[in-house]
A and B are shown apart, each in its own frame.
Chain A
Amino acid sequence: MAEILTSQVVSGLATGCVYALIALGFVLIFKATDVVNFAQGEFVMASGFISYTLLIGLGFPYGLVLVATIVLSGFMGVVLERVVVRPIMDAPIFSIVIATIGASIVLRSSAGIVYGYDVLPLPTILSKDPVRVGFLQFTPMDVGVIGSSLVIMVALYLFFKLTKTGMAMRATAQSQTAARLMGVSVKRIFSLTWAISAGIGGVAGVLIAPIIYLDPNLGFIGVKAFAGAILGGFGSIPGAIVGGMLLGVIENLSGYFFNAGIKQVSTYILLILVLVVRPSGFFGAAPIRKV
């Protein structure tokens, strides 16, 4: 029993890490620009397909594929920001959200046209065979996913804390006006934010594609990640991460104890309960609203 539970928790953590990465992407854009990017899930999907083409279609080695995918995803993020978001930056938030929804439809249907709606398997270098250590049971794939996610998160943390650009981004997130006054090019920061967000989505795509199969409708995972982000507190980065991981574990455990249907909604039930008690999520700070 213990080993079944631990394997459930570990694989839950692995999926949870991917949710966390996607959630991170949402939160970064939101903090900097107040926009919820509905196309975030599609970034993940698109980068999965891009890595497929690079790996299988062009035969690039795995390491190069990883780097190239992240770069191309980042580029995709910038393009989206420039074409779809920048022109209506001053419009009501809802409109920008619709623009991202439209973009997500375009991305999804483009993938469908190019790759078909069939499901594509993406090979992986890490094995999915189980490994036993004491009462723990997991797969190298799980470890790889958790490991890479943690590396990315730490890297981002250091980036924000220590580099000049990272600080500029934090400044912009706090107050655009103040940042402008300090000489920060807010427009460039926005592009950079979208690029990083999309890039993280790219990593998530490469990590998750071998676990689930690639198909244009994969982007719907974004909704789950979004829920995880909210669970943890949407305004905060550690919140998004914890929320995502928590989501993965809860899903797995409730799937084990109940049935498939309950598994799917367990997160949302939990979410509603949490929101009723703490309207800003576990870690979110109550937003200070100026009267």
Chain B
Amino acid sequence: MKWFTAALTLLVLLASGPVRAEDGVTDKEVVIGAGLDLTGAVANWGVNIKAGMEAMFNRANAAGGVHGRKIRLVAYDHVYQPPKAVTNAKRLVERDKVFVMMGHLGTPTTKAVKDYLDEKRVPNIFPATLASMWTTSGKWHVGDLATYADQTGLIVDYLVKEKKIRKIASFYQDDEYGLDGHLAGKARLKHAHDLPYVAEVDYKRADIDFSSQAAKLKESGAEAVIVQAVYREPPRLAEQCHAIGYNPLFIGPSPIVLAKTIELGGKHVEGLMGVEVYPLPTEPGAFLDQYRADMAKYSPGLAIDTTNLYGYQKAALFVEAMKRAGRNLTRDSVLKAIESIKDWDPGWGLKYGYGGDNRRGMSNAGRLVVVKDGKWVKVSDWTELKEVGRK
């Protein structure tokens, strides 16, 4: 008889189902996951993005959390390797039970976990890769800033229309990141201006010597070279081009706009141009003051640079979304909250606004900057970038 009662109780309990709170959300806490490269090819970004996000979350926690919940970030290192990214994602979702994945770093690595996140219905919020696909991947993915493709569109238009340059070459990293901008630029040149690249020169990530690429670029007679690279390559390329007496205009998308680029390149990067998709970390403004203060407080060892501001602004956006979602925090409610953000300026002159179901991103603005006297300086004002495809 006792057995029977016990079994019946168990059945009743099981049938009624547990009162399910959303994964990663408890009364007191929200757990956020991040798959980052902390020791590999783009560790500079991973470490800084993490620091930036943590600074913002620490600020929110110091003020009592969002609707009474403190935010905890759990990050694992995937060393820019897709299989590791998959393992880490599983660990985050199934072990650590994170609420959302945020700032997932790297294009191939994020691609590797995309299907898994879709399957588990875990939102992929503001991944740290501006490849075009993240604004058009469906309900569970939301990008934040202008894509490499759109940025390259801006570059191409600028070169042809304002600088009147028609001989344009492309120097690009031979992987998914480099290809995004490279192909978009090619398409834009062809469709809008009926021009080809005069040279297409690639390089392998982490390559250190570009003397052969420099020679080829010089031979092509290109007056401008679009560099689909990160902060490491433009200094070296510029140096090696100058060494053979070749002085084109170098211009590239947001990943080259770092103080680090200037530090590495010195005089060789004077005149280097880039596209930025959010204000420079050195600019004045309430939000940036707050960011600088938080970075000094929570990560004093790290220099402020666009890389940690990148993470900080992601976190700021998400905290705003959580505030709007209210106390009843679920994945659906936070996604809806994100979609509700329109004309929101955190205090730096740039507004976020959800782009709509066809473009699940929060900002499509960009502006040109140039290295002048050893500093990045703005050249134009914020413009809404045109959408540029890769074909």
Contacts and interface: CB of A to CB of B under 8 A. Distances in A.
A–B touching in complex (CB under 8 Å): yes
Contacts of B209: 11, 15, 212, 251-252, 255
B372 interface: no
A119 B212 contact: no
Interface string A206-221: 0000011100110010
B232 interface: yes
Contacts of A252: 209, 211-212
A275 to B, nearest CB: 24
Given A137-B244, A139-B243, A212-B208, A260 B264 contact: no
Contacts of B208: 211-213
A30 to B, nearest CB: 26
Nearest to B219: A4
A16 to B, nearest CB: 11
B192 interface: no
A11 B231 CA distance: 23
B144 interface: no
Interface residues of B, number: 34
Interface stretch (B87-95, B106-114, B199-207, B287-295): B199-207
A116 B47 contact: yes
Contact of A130 (B43, B174, B203, B245): B245
Given A213-B264, A260-B213, A4 B44 contact: no
Interface size class of A (residues with CB under 8 A): 35 or more
B260 interface: yes
B38 interface: yes
* Chain A facing B: main interface SS: helix
Given A119-B260, A121-B264, A128-B239, A256 B215 contact: yes
Contacts of A130: 242-245
A220 B207 CA distance: 11
A213 B244 contact: no
Contacts of B41: 217
Nearest to A142: B243
B372 to A, nearest CB: 20
Contact of A117 (B38, B174, B213): B38
B188 to A, nearest CB: 23
Interface in A117-149: 117-119, 121, 128-130, 137, 139
B218 A117 contact: no
User: Which of A12, A15, A121, A255 neighbours the largest number of chain B CB atoms within 10 Å of its CB?
Assistant: A255
A133 B236 CA distance: 24
Interface in A235-291: 251-256, 259-261, 263-264
Nearest to A248: B209
A109 B39 contact: yes
B212 A263 contact: yes
Nearest to B172: A260
B182 to A, nearest CB: 13
Nearest to A255: B212
Interface in B28-72: 38-41, 43-44, 47
B306 to A, nearest CB: 13
A193 interface: no
A11 B239 CA distance: 13
B216 interface: yes
B176 interface: no
A23 B81 CA distance: 29
A261 B245 CA distance: 26
B263 interface: yes
Contact of B263 (A8, A121, A137, A217): A121
B223 to A, nearest CB: 19
Contacts of B245: 130
B204 A129 contact: no
A45 B190 CA distance: 45
Nearest to A113: B39
Given A4-B218, A4-B244, A119 B44 contact: yes
Nearest to B210: A255
A172 interface: no
A119 B215 contact: no
Nearest to B232: A119
Contacts of B231: 119
Contacts of A15: 209
A112 interface: yes
A216 B203 CA distance: 21
Nearest to A15: B209
Given A213-B264, A260-B213, 9 more contacts: A4-B215, A4-B219, A8-B211, A118-B43, A121-B264, A128-B239, A130-B244, A137-B244, A260-B204
Interface of A: 4, 7-8, 11-12, 15, 109, 112, 116-119, 121, 128-130, 137, 139, 211-213, 216-217, 220, 251-256, 259-261, 263-264
Interface of B: 38-41, 43-44, 47, 174, 201-204, 206-209, 211-213, 215-216, 218-219, 231-232, 236, 239, 242-245, 260, 263-264
Nearest first, the 6 closest Cβ-Cβ pairs linking A and B are A255-B212, A117-B43, A212-B208, A256-B212, A130-B243, A260-B203
